[in-house]
Amino acid sequence: MSRRPIRFIAGVAAWAALAVTASAQEELVPTAPPFNPPQLTPSLLDFLTGQPIATQCKLAKTPLLLQPPFAGAPIDTPKGLAADIKAKEVDVPNRIAAAQYLGTLDCVAFPEARKMLIAMAMEDPFEPVRYEAVMAIRIMLARGMDNPRSAAHVAGCGCEKCKDREKAIKKSAKETKKHAHHAEVMALCPKNPCELVHKTLPAIIHAPCVLAAKMKLRCQTGVKAEELRYDFCKGCCDAETLNALSKIANELDEQGCPIEPSPRVREAAADALLLCDCIPVPPTPMVPVPAPPIPDTKPPGEGTPLIEGEGVPEVEGEFPIPEVPTVPETEQFDDLDPNAFATPRLLKTGAKSRNSTVRPTAGTSNQNEAPPLAALRDYCVVALHDHRFAKANSEIFSIYKSRTFFFESEESKIRFEENPEVFAPVFCGMDPVCYVESEELREGRVLREHAGRFYLFTDEANWETFQKNPARYSTR
């Protein structure tokens, strides 16, 4: 038998194997949504002209990126990626309508609706969809606001702080209901003349039947059945919902930027957390974390070394300054707004203080032993005192009152060490308003100057309160 036919058969088999392997590899690459031509019934114009007028009109409304050669292209190519993103963008109104409907459902009877809204609020790449998802969650949470237990919890003790909180809660609930009503109205509004005819014409035809049905209901005896309310007692504020809303409203990424870039989405999530705070939630047990020990440090010149267990010395004034314990390292903030700095930190009190003076200390910077103020981490405090912004050099620093301050140059460091009280924030960077009003030590994030001294406040509201009566909160 000749070998030529055998070689021919082997070559054909090898070629077929390579073709199958290549096709299998091509199938592994995802592609953009394929282009499906609209299946339309020919219109009268199609019949008169002999041309597919209806199909051409429909294609004219289809975005260019959803037509060939973009549609069906591999995702790893520019055309395929553009078609895939455009398809998701075109579907935004549909996802918004879905989120608005899911918000009308009961979160206990339909827990999968709540989980889907949380996933949309945290994962959808388009901001309008995330906003509507958060607002839908707020609508779910607002249904428990008429709970008698919630109302009693909102009322509080009747003090000014509780009254302000009650007003904020009522305002948030009112805005939530207004948004829900607006969504219902927009769903009823026609988007084009054809839809207007389709919606209004049947309503006009069936108007007598609807009116007769309403009159029949009025004539019936008995009390109308109350709508089932599964969330009346415990509400929808479970741990999963609270953690998701808190992450959207407050969490920052590694660069110190909010993980949710949209301000209105963060604000909506914060208002939703305010609604959750109205319903009593069992406290989560906290595991106490021991504070790292403060090493003995010998400051230059006069003074005694710091002793472990003792904190910042007491400053003369209208109220004593408790110990500022060591706090863990906060997030990095690359791009800071001059008017709003890092996130506030809640600290605990309860330790003795010393009357001796602590002066700036030079040495190795250890943020666990002498953490810098988050609001001043990347800025030279001496330059800020001169009313200018200058990036601080992490290698040029000085430790004062268990806080590390960074400077732009050695000259600035010398000026600081000569008179640190002029440049360092009053009350060790803690918010004096929070301490006087609620005896809480909160690290400030809003830097303001008063009478030639720096003060740090947790927000603008506390700064405004401070301005009304500076003598009450400022130290002397």
Question: What's the mean per-residue pLDDT of the chain?
Answer: 70
Confidence at 163, pLDDT banded by 50, 70, 90:
low
Same domain assignment for residues 269 and 361:
no
**What is the C-alpha separation between 35 and 59, in angstroms, rounded?**
11
In sequence order, what DSSP letters do the residues of 132-146 get, joined into one string? HHHHHHHHHHHGGGG
pLDDT of residue 116: 95
CA 389 vs CA 28, 130, 270, 404, 467: distances in Å:
53, 36, 31, 18, 24
Domain boundary among 276, 301, 333: 276
The answer to whether residues 279 and 233 touch, using CB atoms and an 8 Å cutoff, is no
Say if CB 124 and CB 130 are below 8 A apart.
Answer: yes
Who wins on pLDDT, 339 or 169?
169
Residue finishing a domain among 222, 246, 276? 276
Residues 178, 98 share a domain? yes
More confident residue, 224 or 96: 96
Q: Angle formed by the axes of helices 263-276 and 160-188, to 10°?
A: 120
Whether 307 and 280 have beta carbons less than 8 Å apart is answered as no
Question: Region 446-469: what's the mean pLDDT?
Answer: 86
pLDDT on residue 158:
52
Distance from CA of residue 420 to its chain's centroid? Answer: 37
Residue 66: inside a domain, yes or no?
no
pLDDT greater than 80 at residue 78: yes
Q: Residue 37, preceding bond cis, omega within 30 degrees?
A: no
The answer, yes or no, to whether residue 126 has pLDDT greater than 90, is: yes
267: Cβ–Cβ under 8 A, 6 or more apart, which residues?
Answer: 249
One-letter amino acid for residue 82 of the chain? A
Residue 281 main-chain phi, psi, to 5 deg: -115, 135
Is the pLDDT reported for residue 248 higher than 60?
Answer: yes
If one compares 142 and 461, the residue with the highest pLDDT of the two is: 461
Residues ≥6 apart with Cβ < 8 Å to 93: none
Same domain for 272 and 351?
A: no
172-221 pLDDT tens trace? 777 777 777 777 677 667 666 666 666 666 667 767 777 777 666 666 54
Q: Which residues partner with 425 through β-bridges?
A: none
Does 464 fall in a domain? yes
Q: Is residue 297 part of a domain?
A: no
Percent share of the chain, pLDDT over 70: 54
Could you tell me if 132 and 104 are in contact, meaning their C-beta atoms sit under 8 angstroms apart?
Answer: no
Same domain, 272 and 355: no
Encode 181-209: b = buried (16+ Cβ within 10 Å), e = exposed.
eebeeeeeeeeeeeeeeeeeeeeeeeeee
Measure Cα distances from 198 to 190, 203, 403 in Å. Answer: 9, 9, 70
Give the pairing type, strands 441-443 and 453-457: unpaired
Asked if residue 102 belongs to a domain, the reply is yes
Same domain as 358, residue 272: no
- Same domain? For 244 and 112 the reply is yes
Residue 113: pLDDT over 90: yes
Assess whether 254 and 365 both reside in one domain: no
Which residues span the domain enclosing 265?
92-204+234-276
Give me Rg for the CA atoms of the chain. 33
Residue 104 domain-assigned (yes or no): yes
Q: What's the pTM?
A: 0.44
**Residue 253: predicted pLDDT:** 85
pLDDT for the residue numbered 235: 60
The reported pLDDT for the residue numbered 161 is 55
Is 318 a domain residue? no
282 DSSP 8-state letter: P
Q: What is the pLDDT of residue 265?
A: 94
Same domain, 255 and 129: yes
CA atoms within 13 A on the CB side of 197: 2
The total number of structural domains in the chain stands at: 2
Residue 66 has pLDDT above 60, yes or no: yes
Residues 396 and 248 grouped into a single domain? no
Q: Is the same domain home to 132 and 245?
A: yes
Read off the amino acid at residue 143: R
Burial of 10 (0-12, 13-18, 19+ CB in 10 A): exposed
61 burial (CB, 10 Å; 0-12 / 13-18 / 19+) is exposed
Are 156 and 252 within one domain?
Answer: yes
HSE (side-chain half, CA atoms, 13 Å) at 33: 17
User: Do the domain assignments include residue 25?
Assistant: no
CA dihedral sign of residues 283, 287, 288, 291: negative
Give a yes or no: residue 350 inside a domain. yes
Task: Give yes or no: residues 182 and 270 share one domain.
Answer: yes
